[in-house]
Every structure is written in C-alpha cells, then in structure tokens.
A and B are shown apart, each in its own frame.
Chain A
Amino acid sequence: MIKVRGLSKFYGEKAVVEKVDVDIHPQKITSFIGPNGAGKSTLLSMVSRLIDIDSGEVIIDEDRAKDIPSSEFAKRVSILKQSNFMNVRLTIRELVSFGRFPYSKGRLNEEDERFVDQALQYMNLEEFEHRYLDELSGGQRQRAFIAMVIAQDTEYVLLDEPLNNLDMKHSVQIMKILQKLVEDLGKTVVIVLHDINFASVYSDRIVALKDGRVVKDGPTEEIITTEALQDIYDMDIPIHEIDGDRIGVYFKS
C-alpha cells in the first residue's frame, strides 16, 4: 500500500498540489482523473520521486519514500511518463533489457534475460524485438515501454496518461494489459486518465483531483455518478448503465 500524506507542491506562490491524502490499495487499478491543471501528473511525479516534494510524505509499504535509496526504489516502484520526443535508436529488446538495470546495472544474467523474454512474450512483441523504436507505430512503442516496466518487475506500476495519442483499438489493448497485470501478476497500477469512461470500465478505485486537491476518492461506482462528476468537472453528465458498465455521456453536456 502506498500512503500519501499531506503532499503539497508549490510553483512560486501557487499550490499545484495541496495537502493531498490518498491511499493506493494493493493489487487494484487506481485512476487519477480531473480537469486539466488539477495536479494529477504532478501528484504522480511526486509519488514516484521524479519531482521533489515541498511538504508532506509518501509511505511505501511502511517505508518512507525519501529513506529508500534510489536504486532500491527502482525495484519497487516504476513510472512511465509520456516522453514527447524519443529519438534514441534502440531496439525493442534493448529497451526492455534496460528495465533490468536496477538489478543488473547493465550486465544481464540468465535470470534477467528470462524476465526480458517473458516481458516481450507478455506484450506480444517477440516478432519485432529487433526492430528500432523509431520504426514502430505509437501503439507498438507504448507496448514496448510497458514491456520494459514489466521487466523492471516492480510491485507498483505508475503510468502518466498512457493512452495519449493512441487510437481506440490500441487504448483498449493497453487497458486490458494493465488489467491483466493486476489479475495475473498481482501488480498495483496507478494511472492518470482523461477519459472518464476508460476510468469507469477498468479501474477499481478512482481519485478525482481539482485545483490541486482531492475532491473525490473511492470505489469506481461511487465516483462515476452524475452528482460526483458535477463536483469534479462542473458538467452535468448523465450516466447510463450498458452491459454492467457505467458510461458517462458527456458529449452534449
């Protein structure tokens, strides 16, 4: 379990994240949703120690995050951010092998190779493992990065808007994979999402942020309601139940 306690981040005078308390439940998918500028990515970056914390603390399985050495942290929590430009020419296999860096420091042993093979197999990337990243489509590249995180074999997998720039087919593919990571491998997934319906269909819990504060936090069915979404987005979103899923029809709200 990751416990976030009183976490704040200021840029100058302005608080982008203010006194946030959140519990990330193990072996669940937790989605962070909220309008643009709500502080979702900042919160995720602070939890994964990519940016410094101004006040408050993050506790990972009883250990304070700031007390965990960086190389040790990389074996427990992984974070995938949307990198806007990737012009490094690596093959998929090379990239996935770097997921083992926290363990092997670059010299892969047999166990590391096995993890890499499994990750590639899991993501169906074996046939193009020797292709360069810059020769792949957006969906394939995203899968390659997720394969790397799988090879990194951390209990917690944090993803910042992994569906950006992906079409419907690939978005669904990625979400299904994340679901499998939780069900098959027992991972804990935290994901920043923009589409409330992806959050509704795939997550176990939802944390909604607005103006740097948590406005809603709970099981998915409690958050995907017209009233709760009104508080989060200031939009009147009717919710329809379709085949057991709660779908918000926000296009004309």
Chain B
Amino acid sequence: MKKRYLVLAVIILSILSLFVGVSSISPTDLLDFKSEQTEIFLLSRVPRLIAIILAGAGMSIAGLIMQQLSRNKFVSPTTAGTLDATRLGILVSMLLFANASTIEKMVVAFAFALAGTLLFMQILDRIKFKDAIFIPLVGLMFGNILSSVTTFFAYRANVIQNMSAWLQGDFSMIMKGRFELLYISIPVIIIAYIYANRFTVAGMGEDFSKNLGVAYKRIVNIGLVLVALITTTVVLTVGMIPFLGLIIPNIVSIFQGDHLQKTLPHTALLGAAFLLICDILGRVIIFPYEISISLMVGVIGSAIFLFMLFRGKAYA
C-alpha cells in the first residue's frame, strides 16, 4: 500500500465525485462562470467533496488514535460510545438553548464527547478482564445506554425527528455555509501528526512511556481531546458515520504496522478514499435518488470487518 497510489486514488475519486450527480455537469460547463452548472458545482459539489475528504480522514485518524491509546484494535468512536455521547451533547444543547447556534452546539457536544470518551477510558482501566472482544462490547453497551438516555429526553421534548438527522450520516445536505465546521479537523490532524510518536509510545503502556520520559497521562488526554474534536465536528455537519474509525486503521495496521508517524498519512488517505467510494456508490446505485452514507459505510464496512475477523489471523 504505497502512499503515492493512495494519493492518486483520492485524486481520481475526487474528480469522479465532482461530476456525479442529479444535474449533469461536464468540465466544459465550468468554463462559463455564470452558468447554473458552475453555481451548483461551487455551492454543492465542491463543499461535498471537501466534507467527504475531511470527514473520512478525520474519523479514520480518530479511530487510529483511540485504538493506539486503548491498546485495543476494536475500539473506535463507534465502539466506545463517543458518537453516542456527542449526540447526547447535541440534544442537551438544543434543550438548553432554544435556537442553539452551531458554536453553542459544538461546545456542548464537544464537552459531552470528551466526557463520554474519558468515562469509557476510566471503565477500561478498571476492567480486570481485558479480553480484546469484551472491551468493545462494554463500549457498545455504554454507547447504547447513552443513546437510550438521548432518545428518552428527545421523546419528552418532542425533538425525536430533529435528533434522527444526526443519527444518519448524510452528505446530500452539505452545501456552502453548512460544512465549514469540518475545517477544524485540519489543524487537529496536523497536531495528531506532531504527536504521532508520543501516541505510539503511549500505546506501549504507561511503564514503557515513563521509561522513555513521556508523560503518559498528558498524552492520553491530548489524544482524547483530538478524538472528541473530530467526532463532534463530523457528527454536527454530516451525522454519524459508523465503522469508518474501526476498519480503516485496522487495514492500515495489517500492512504497515502501528508506527503512527508512518501510518497516519496512509490512514487519512485510505479513510478519504473509502468514504469517497461509498459516497459515489450511494449516489449511483438508485440514481437519481441517494443512499445515505452511513448505510453505505455500514454495509460495505461490516462486510470488510467480518472478512477481517474471519481471515483467522488474530490482529487484536
């Protein structure tokens, strides 16, 4: 899995993504700056592309960091309750502020995502039975508890419909002015890269980190803040994208190992490419309608995940 091939794949898929859609746009239409096509292109297609790439890269890196810090290949924002905590946060922000602005939602949801992930890491510390499969099961249960709390209060407050918008990841609503929050993941990814070596060391355990003079707890906390930031921005703009943070880092780990400084770019690129494929397929299969991205990722992702499990080799 060479980096240049991944870059090439992302570029080709990006071009494809720009010219697939209900209203047909050809590259020559763009020569006319005032045409309706150009307008659609700039208001919808380009933002959609940017959103997909940022969300794909971001969620994959969030998963990578979580797997490294928890030392478990099955932990990801989906299987550790982070996504559910974020959603609970969005609900709380909607109940607290009548017409919550994006920033208010962002801040509250971020606080919940961080608290939820921290709580899960605490639970992880206290579990004596550290079985590779058992831990994500605990995470899923934890997520479901949060989710049922969300549903209960959303039902009481009559905002169930509103909430379900954040349940299903969907890129069809992405337009200029509705996705800019995702740009936060760019600095987050850069910080993740700067800390890559420290995350790798932290992934070897607390004693190992201390031996090398790495402040273990601080690094874990920084990692969790980055994860919470990425997750919050993605859920707020696109919605939940399950499995992505689970599968992509695992595929990269099989081929490239766990040296984060080396694998982080691969993970980001593969995440973006995978999400682009899912999105393009989702737009083509029942053309002119669209299958939501969370469904596409869920179906393709779980198939790949099962394949990985059945390949017999223990990755976890």
- Residues in A with CB closer than 8 Å to B213 are 70-75, 101-102
Q: Closest Cβ of chain A: how far from B151's Cβ, in Å?
A: 35
Asked if A94 and B259 sit within 8 Å, CB to CB, the answer is: yes
Asked if A86 and B204 sit within 8 Å, CB to CB, the answer is: yes
- Please report the C-alpha to C-alpha distance between residue A142 and residue B263 in the assembled complex, in whole angstroms: 25
Number of B interface residues in the complex (CB < 8 A): 28
Q: Does A35 contact B (CB under 8 A)?
A: no
Q: Closest Cβ of chain B: how far from A72's Cβ, in Å?
A: 8
Asked if B211 and A87 sit within 8 Å, CB to CB, the answer is: no
- Residues in B with CB closer than 8 Å to A86 are 204
Q: Closest Cβ of chain A: how far from B131's Cβ, in Å?
A: 11
Asked if A88 and B204 sit within 8 Å, CB to CB, the answer is: yes
- Residues in A with CB closer than 8 Å to B162 are none
Asked if B208 and A83 sit within 8 Å, CB to CB, the answer is: yes
From A50, A72, A98, contact of B207 by CB (8 A): A50
From A50, A88, A105, contact of B71 by CB (8 A): A88
Known contacts A74-B213, A101-B212, A101-B213, A88 near B203 by CB under 8 Å: yes
Write the chain A residue with the least CB distance to B261. A106
Mark interface residues in A68-109 (1 if CB within 8 Å of B CB, else 0).
001111110011110101111111001000110110011000
Q: Does A48 contact B (CB under 8 A)?
A: yes
- Please report the C-alpha to C-alpha distance between residue A86 and residue B73 in the assembled complex, in whole angstroms: 12
Write the chain A residue with the least CB distance to B197. A106
- Please report the C-alpha to C-alpha distance between residue A85 and residue B196 in the assembled complex, in whole angstroms: 21
Q: Closest Cβ of chain A: how far from B270's Cβ, in Å?
A: 16
Asked if B261 and A70 sit within 8 Å, CB to CB, the answer is: no
Within 8 A of A (CB), among B111-170: 130, 132
- Please report the C-alpha to C-alpha distance between residue A48 and residue B200 in the assembled complex, in whole angstroms: 21
Asked if A98 and B261 sit within 8 Å, CB to CB, the answer is: no
- Please report the C-alpha to C-alpha distance between residue A86 and residue B316 in the assembled complex, in whole angstroms: 10
Q: Does B215 contact A (CB under 8 A)?
A: yes
- Please report the C-alpha to C-alpha distance between residue A98 and residue B214 in the assembled complex, in whole angstroms: 11
- Residues in A with CB closer than 8 Å to B200 are 88, 90, 98
- Residues in A with CB closer than 8 Å to B261 are 106
Asked if A88 and B258 sit within 8 Å, CB to CB, the answer is: yes
- Please report the C-alpha to C-alpha distance between residue A45 and residue B210 in the assembled complex, in whole angstroms: 11
Q: Does A152 contact B (CB under 8 A)?
A: yes
- Please report the C-alpha to C-alpha distance between residue A91 and residue B256 in the assembled complex, in whole angstroms: 10
Q: Closest Cβ of chain B: how far from A99's Cβ, in Å?
A: 8
Known contacts A87-B71, A90-B259, A94-B257, A105 near B210 by CB under 8 Å: no
Known contacts A98-B200, A101-B212, A101-B214, A83 near B259 by CB under 8 Å: no
- Please report the C-alpha to C-alpha distance between residue A102 and residue B215 in the assembled complex, in whole angstroms: 12
Asked if A89 and B258 sit within 8 Å, CB to CB, the answer is: yes
- Please report the C-alpha to C-alpha distance between residue A72 and residue B203 in the assembled complex, in whole angstroms: 22
Q: Does B172 contact A (CB under 8 A)?
A: no
Q: Does B201 contact A (CB under 8 A)?
A: yes
Q: Closest Cβ of chain A: how far from B14's Cβ, in Å?
A: 30
Q: Closest Cβ of chain A: how far from B261's Cβ, in Å?
A: 7
Asked if A152 and B212 sit within 8 Å, CB to CB, the answer is: yes
Asked if A87 and B316 sit within 8 Å, CB to CB, the answer is: yes
Mark interface residues in B202-238 (1 if CB within 8 Å of A CB, else 0).
0111111011111100000000000000000000000
Q: Does A122 contact B (CB under 8 A)?
A: no
- Residues in A with CB closer than 8 Å to B205 are 83
Q: Does A49 contact B (CB under 8 A)?
A: yes
Q: Closest Cβ of chain A: how far from B64's Cβ, in Å?
A: 12
- Residues in B with CB closer than 8 Å to A71 are 213
Asked if B210 and A50 sit within 8 Å, CB to CB, the answer is: yes
Q: Closest Cβ of chain B: how far from A218's Cβ, in Å?
A: 29
Q: Closest Cβ of chain A: how far from B66's Cβ, in Å?
A: 14
Of A71, A75, A88, A106, most B-chain CB atoms within 10 Å: A88
Write the chain A residue with the least CB distance to B68. A88
- Please report the C-alpha to C-alpha distance between residue A75 and residue B212 in the assembled complex, in whole angstroms: 8
Asked if B257 and A89 sit within 8 Å, CB to CB, the answer is: yes
Kindly list the 6 A-B residue pairs having the minimum CB-CB distance in the complex, ordered from nearest: A106-B197, A74-B213, A71-B213, A89-B257, A89-B258, A101-B212
Other than the known A79-B207, A94-B259, what 15 A-B pairs have Cβ atoms closer than 8 Å? Answer: A50-B211, A73-B213, A78-B211, A81-B207, A85-B71, A86-B204, A87-B316, A88-B71, A88-B204, A89-B253, A98-B204, A99-B212, A102-B212, A106-B261, A152-B212
Residues of B that sit less than 8 Å from A by CB = 68, 71, 73, 130, 132, 196-198, 200-201, 203-208, 210-215, 253, 257-259, 261, 316
